[in-house]
Amino acid sequence: MGREAAGRTLGEKTVPQMPVTGLERDNDPATSGVQAPPSGRIGTGRFIRRPAEPFWTRLHRGLAANLVKEQERGVAFLFVPVFLGIGVILYFSLTVEPGFLQLGLVGGILVALALACRRIPAAQLLVFALLAIAAGLLAAKFETWSADTKVLGSEITTRVTGTVVLVERRANGRTRLTMDVLKTERPKLRYQPDRIRATTRSEVSHIHPGSHIKGLVRLRPPPGPVQPGSYDFSRENYFDGLGANGFFLSAVETVADGASGGVQQRVSIFIADLRDRLSTRISETIGGREGAIAAALITGTKAGIPDDVNEALRRTGLAHILSISGLHMALVAGFVMLVLRAGCGLFPGFSSRRPVKKYAAIAALGAIFFYLFVSGTSVATQRSFIMLAVMLAALLYDRAAITMRNLAISAIVVILVAPHEVIGPSFQMSFAATAALIAAYAVWSERRERRIEARGVSDLDGRWEIPRTLLRYGGGLAFTSLIAGTATALFAAYHFHRIAPYGLIANLAAMPLVSVMVMPSAVFAMILMPFGLDSLPLTVMGWGISLVIAIAEWLAARTVFDEVGIIPMRAVAVLALGLVLLTLLTSRLRLTSIPLIAVGLMMIIMRQEPDVLISEDARLVAVKSDSAALAVNRKRPNAFTLDNWKRALRAAVVEKPLSEFEGEGIFSCTDDLCIIRQTGGALLVHSKSAEKASVWCREAAIIIVDDATASGVCSNERIAVITKRHLAKWGSAAIAFRSTGNHMAADIDYAVSEPYRPWHGHRAFSRAARGMPPWRRKKAGTGNKPRPASK
Q: Please state the φ and ψ torsions of residue 722, each to the nearest 5 degrees.
A: -120, 120
- Starting at the edge strand found earlier in the chain, the sheet holding 683-687 runs 668-669, 673-677, 683-687, 702-705, 720-723
Within 13 A of 119's CA, how many CA atoms are on the CB side?
A: 1
Tens digits of residue pLDDT in 64-104: 888 888 888 889 999 999 999 999 999 999 999 999 999 99
Convert 55-91 into a string of H (helix), E (strand) and C (coil).
HHHHHHHHHHHHHHHHHHCCHHHHCHHHHHHHHHHHH
733: confidence class by pLDDT, cuts 50, 70, 90: very high
- Residue 548 pLDDT: 94
* Confidence check: pLDDT of 39 > 70: no
> Alpha carbon of 429 to those of 417, 697, 783: distances in Å?
18, 47, 57
- Residue 12 pLDDT: 39
- Residue 623 pLDDT: 92
- Residue 374 pLDDT: 84
Tens digits of residue pLDDT in 530-586: 888 889 999 999 999 999 999 999 999 988 878 889 999 999 999 999 999 999 998
* Confidence check: pLDDT of 224 > 70: yes
| Chain centroid, CA 683 distance in Å | 38
Tens digits of residue pLDDT in 739-776: 776 677 788 999 999 999 999 999 999 999 999 888 77
Residue 189: which of 162, 228, 224, 223 has the closest Cα? 162
Provide mean pLDDT across the span 29-41.
46
- Give the integer Cα–Cα distance in Å for 445 and 769: 60
| Chain centroid, CA 240 distance in Å | 16
Tens digits of residue pLDDT in 449-498: 887 777 665 544 556 667 777 777 677 777 888 888 889 899 999 999 98
On average, the pLDDT of the chain sits at 84
* Confidence check: pLDDT of 19 > 70: no
**Letter string b/e over residues 723-758, b meaning 16 or more CB atoms within 10 A of that residue's CB:** bbbbbbbbbbbbbebeeeeeebebebebbbeeebbb
Higher pLDDT, 681 or 148: 148
- Residue 7 pLDDT: 39
* Confidence check: pLDDT of 6 > 60: no
382: confidence class by pLDDT, cuts 50, 70, 90: confident
- Give the integer Cα–Cα distance in Å for 701 and 688: 17
* Confidence check: pLDDT of 612 > 90: yes
CB atoms within 10 A of CB 284: 11
Q: Which residues touch 244 (CB under 8 Å, ≥6 apart)?
A: 151, 152, 193, 196, 197, 219, 220, 221, 222
Q: Which helix (H) or strand (E) holds 419?
A: none
Residue 537: which of 763, 284, 285, 725 has the closest Cα? 285
Strand partners, 653: 629
> Alpha carbon of 203 to those of 159, 167, 207, 272, 611: distances in Å?
20, 11, 9, 18, 42
Provide mean pLDDT across the span 354-368.
89
* Confidence check: pLDDT of 378 > 90: no
129: confidence class by pLDDT, cuts 50, 70, 90: very high
pTM: 0.84
341: confidence class by pLDDT, cuts 50, 70, 90: confident
- Residue 255 pLDDT: 87
- Residue 260 pLDDT: 61
* Confidence check: pLDDT of 51 > 70: no
* Confidence check: pLDDT of 269 > 90: no
- Residue 103 pLDDT: 93
Q: Which helix (H) or strand (E) holds 8?
A: strand 6-10
Tens digits of residue pLDDT in 190-210: 899 999 999 998 888 888 898
- Give the integer Cα–Cα distance in Å for 157 and 185: 10
Provide mean pLDDT across the span 287-295.
91
Q: Which residues touch 500 (CB under 8 Å, ≥6 apart)?
A: 314, 315, 316, 317, 318, 485, 492, 506, 559, 562
- Cβ atoms of 534 and 528 within 8 Å: the answer is yes
* pLDDT-wise least confident of 18-32, 682-696, 729-743: 18-32
- Give the integer Cα–Cα distance in Å for 394 and 149: 38
- Residue 18 pLDDT: 43
Residue 734: which of 626, 572, 624, 580 has the closest Cα? 624
- Cβ atoms of 614 and 722 within 8 Å: the answer is yes
- Give the integer Cα–Cα distance in Å for 361 and 358: 5
